[in-house]
């Protein structure tokens, strides 16, 4: 069992019968969804689930995990999701898989966000991974220009086979190479307040638990 699988499996130990669970997106959240599917099949685990992306929704359906629409879910007990980077304060960079908006909406609706990642994602300071910024397509060039002039760091639209990448919500993503992000809250607030920006991949003060998987299959757990 590799680190990603170990982290995903460990996080599912928090899932209890009757819970409403948010299903994250990415290569480590994949293993959590797989494990939930195993428990549904083998234990008859009864839960309600909501997916954070079309990819996770497809996987959940294949595993017969009961899925619900947001309108039918008043609250979420816990969400298990991955991260591209996590610092000692459990602030995150997310969005490498392009699902940051739905991931953040589901996380903020949850009583508890459990982050699963392999140990390589554990960093002292966020920012080595490019920060994804989701923007509306209309006048997106203006938004990109504004952000470039404001921050003076390399950034551009994410590409997919030679075309601009389009999220599940029909938006674009700008990947910004900020480097060391010392003031995560300040940057998060600035970006969120920018007209044309839908949301961004800084998750500040949201995660309650981080499960890091090591190459040898062991895990370490960090909690607030």
Domains (range + CATH), the chain: 3-121+204-217 (3.40.50.1360), 131-198 (3.30.70.260)
First vs last C-alpha separation in the chain: 27
Q: pLDDT tens digits, residue range 83-129?
A: 999 999 999 999 999 999 999 999 999 999 999 999 999 999 999 99
* β 159-160/155-157 pair status: unpaired
Query: What's the Rg (C-alpha) of the chain?
Result: 17
82, 52 contact by CB (below 8 A)? no
- Euclidean distance between CA atoms 219 and 90, whole angstroms: 16
144, 135 contact by CB (below 8 A)? yes
pTM comes to 0.95
Q: pLDDT tens digits, residue range 128-180?
A: 999 999 999 999 999 999 999 999 999 999 999 999 999 999 999 999 999 99
**Active site amino acids:** 103
């Amino acid at each position: 069992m590799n680190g990603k699988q170990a982290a995903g499996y460990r996080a599912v130990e928090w899932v209890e019968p009757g819970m409403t669970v948010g299903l994250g997106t990415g290569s480590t959240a994949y293993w959590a969804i797989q494990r939930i599917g195993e428990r549904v099949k083998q234990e008859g685990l009864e839960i309600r689930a909501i997916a954070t992306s079309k990819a996770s929704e497809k996987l959940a359906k294949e595993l017969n995990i009961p899925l619900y629409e947001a309108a039918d879910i008043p609250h979420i007990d816990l969400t298990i999701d991955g991260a591209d980077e996590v610092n000692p304060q459990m602030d995150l960079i997310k969005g490498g898989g392009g699902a940051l908006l739905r991931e953040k909406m589901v996380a903020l609706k949850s009583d508890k966000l459990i982050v699963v990642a392999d140990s390589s994602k554990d960093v002292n300071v966020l920012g080595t991974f490019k920060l994804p910024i989701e923007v509306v397509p209309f006048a997106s060039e203006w938004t990109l220009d504004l952000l470039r002039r404001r921050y003076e760091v390399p950034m551009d639209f994410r590409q997919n086979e030679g075309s601009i990448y389009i999220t599940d919500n029909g938006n674009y993503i700008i990947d910004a190479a900020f480097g060391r992000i010392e003031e995560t809250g300040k940057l998060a607030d600035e970006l969120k307040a920018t007209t044309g920006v839908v949301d961004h991949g800084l998750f500040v003060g949201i995660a309650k638990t981080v499960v890091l998987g090591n190459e040898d299959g062991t895990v370490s757990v960090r909690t607030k």
